[in-house]
Amino acid sequence: MTQSTKTRSVVAGVGACLPEKRLTNADLARIVDTSDEWIFQRTGIRERHIAGEGETTSTLATEAARRALSAAGLAAEDIDLIVLATSTPDYTFPSTATQVQAALGITRGAAFDLQAVCSGFVFALATADKFLLSGSHKRALVIGAETFSRILDWKDRTTCVLFGDGAAAVVLEAREGAGSTADRGVLTTHLRSDGRHREKLYVDGGPSTTQTVGHLRMMGRDVFRHAVGMVTDVITDAFNATGFGPDDLDWFVPHQANERIIDASADKLHIAREKIVKTVSMHGNTSAASIPLALSVASADGRIKPGDLVMIEAMGGGFTWGSALIRW
């Protein structure tokens, strides 16, 4: 009997880049009326990195991309697609992806930004996966990169304590698999959006409205209320599509916004706490960068290994939310 093969988007390498400067909760308590105790108890965050002079979304993204290419043993010219998720681009246009493309010396293929706020990396991974599965492109850099510090209202203690800056990238390569869920690569992706929730998490400026960049505004309690239900829905979709369940997962790598949301989602889905990769204490919420940053930490320290089953999920402004199940 002949067996049919199937193209899969396989993770060939991952890399990250964090700004040098760290800002601890104690540092924040000198800027606004807050405390380490309040921030840590409510969110699990201890510190975050903040971009300094000369560091932008594209410089962080370029360095993360270089490190991912090095981990994959590939050169920049091997890449024919860059999908970069960000809500804090260097400029309104051209895209940050094209800035990264130029910095890497790539002159072929396509590069574009994608904006889904904190779900950006999941949306970018799903998009790149579909390009690779179509056969139109062979090797993609999927990047999540943010400098949220530059859209925060540093007088608003309800938001400025929650976010940080950083970038991380994965190299996805189209490879032939046997067509089963034992194949390495992206096994399934599930994306959702509901624009009715705009006012719960938004930036109060933009080119076509105020002609300013604006500041992040959030109704934290409302976001929290929706988050667990939305992420558990798309994780359940990924389980249903593949036949896997919580016990089959090796690692659960959620968007790192708040430790309480992470734990509540895992508990609701019966995912064992020891399978959760958490970096929120060190990075804060880095929006589209948070999942690839967590992936890079857990692959560098030897937790995530080739062949492991890894579930990623995120929820963010829009609202947008999504999941992807990856055989690493």
Under 8 Å CB-to-CB from 225, ≥6 apart: which residues? none
Closer CB to ligand ACO, 151 or 277, in the complex: 151
Residue 72 CB, nearest approach to ligand ACO (Å): 29
- Tell me which residue has tokens 């399978």: 275
Minimum CB–partner distance for residue 43 and ligand ACO (Å): 5
Q: What is the smallest separation between the CB atom of 226 and ligand ACO, expressed in angstroms?
A: 9
User: Which one, 44 or 185, has the nearer CB to ligand ACO?
Assistant: 44
Q: Is 17 a catalytic residue?
A: no
> What minimum distance in Å lies between the beta carbon of 18 and ligand ACO?
18
Catalytic (active site) residue 285: yes
Nearer to ligand ACO among residue 67 and residue 283 (C-beta): 283
> Could you confirm whether 118 is annotated as catalytic?
yes
Q: State the Cα angle at 51 between 167 and 23, rounded to 5°.
A: 105
- Of the candidates 17, 25, 49, 118, the residue annotated as catalytic is 118
Q: Distance between CA 40 and CA 151 in Å, rounded?
A: 22
Chain residues in the site for ligand ACO (CB under 6 A): 34, 38-39, 42-43, 117-118, 157-158, 161, 201, 218, 220-221, 223-224, 227, 257-258, 261, 285, 287, 316-317
- Name residue 313's beta-bridge partners: 254, 323
- DSSP, residue by residue, 19-30: -SEEEEHHHHHT
Catalytic one of 190, 258, 283, 285? 285
> Least Å distance between CB 136 and ligand ACO?
30
CB 201 within 8 A of CB 326: no
Comparing CB distances to ligand ACO, the nearer of 67 and 197 is 197
d(CA 251, CA 312): 9
- What's the CA gap between 294 and 288, in Å, rounded? 11
Single-letter amino acid code for the residue at 246: P
- CB nearer to ligand ACO: give 177 or 292: 292
> By CB neighbour count within 10 A (0-12 exposed, 13-18 middle, 19+ buried), where does 42 fall?
middle
* Residue of 190, 197, 255, 283 marked active site: 255
Query: Which residues are marked as active site?
Result: 118, 255, 285
